Amino acid sequence: MLAILTFLAQEHATEEADPARFVLPHADELIWGSIAFVILFAFLWKVAFPSINKMLAERQAKIRSGLEAAEEAKTEADKLVAQYRKQLDEARGEAAKIIEEAKRTAESLRRDLVAKAEQEAQEIVQRARQDVAGEADRARQQLQAELVSLALTLASRVIERELAQPDVAKQFVERTITELAATGNGNESN
């Protein structure tokens, strides 16, 4: 250790004597620096650079695989978006078809209901007409029977004893009323 201190002291003394020392190194420093540089460079070349290159290659591969994975994910996402859009369009189309079918069904049902209602209304009107016609016939017959009865009663009171046979008189009055009813108002009896 003493030798190193002596060497450093000599060097220090020489440095103070030579001002160019700050610009140019000494030859022995240059040689030792070059040897140290070559050893350091060889060590770095053999040990550190392969590790650094390996680490850089791994990092580059990792980044590349990450980019590829991101690209694949983006492509897959684009495919999924396209598929979802297609499904959405299909669903909208199906919904439109269902709505259109429901409209057609509702319109058909409405037409059927209207037709049935009209048919029922016509049947009700027809039955009412038939009922009215039947009632009118019954009323006419009843009125005719009452007229016959009244006419007989009247005629029998007027002619009371002159008609010996009431059945013949009844037939005569009924025939006369029927003829009067058939002619309309009874003015054309001849």
120-159: pLDDT as tens digits: 999 999 999 998 888 888 888 888 887 777 777 766 665 6
What's CA 140's distance to the chain center, in Å? 67
Instruction: Specify whether the CB–CB gap between 52 and 45 falls below 8 A.
Output: no
- Dist. CA 157–CA 163, nearest whole Å: 10
What's CA 174's distance to the chain center, in Å? 80
184 secondary structure, DSSP code: S
Instruction: Specify whether the CB–CB gap between 179 and 161 falls below 8 A.
Output: no
Of 8-12, 78-82, 138-142, least confident by mean pLDDT is: 8-12
Instruction: Specify whether the CB–CB gap between 122 and 114 falls below 8 A.
Output: no
- Dist. CA 181–CA 148, nearest whole Å: 12
14 secondary structure, DSSP code: H
Q: Which of 154, 153, 143 is nearest to 178 (CA)?
A: 143
How far the first Cα of the chain sits from its last, in Å, is 179
Q: Greater confidence, 153 or 44?
A: 44
- Dist. CA 16–CA 41, nearest whole Å: 33
Report the percentage of the chain scoring pLDDT > 70.
76
pLDDT at 79: 94
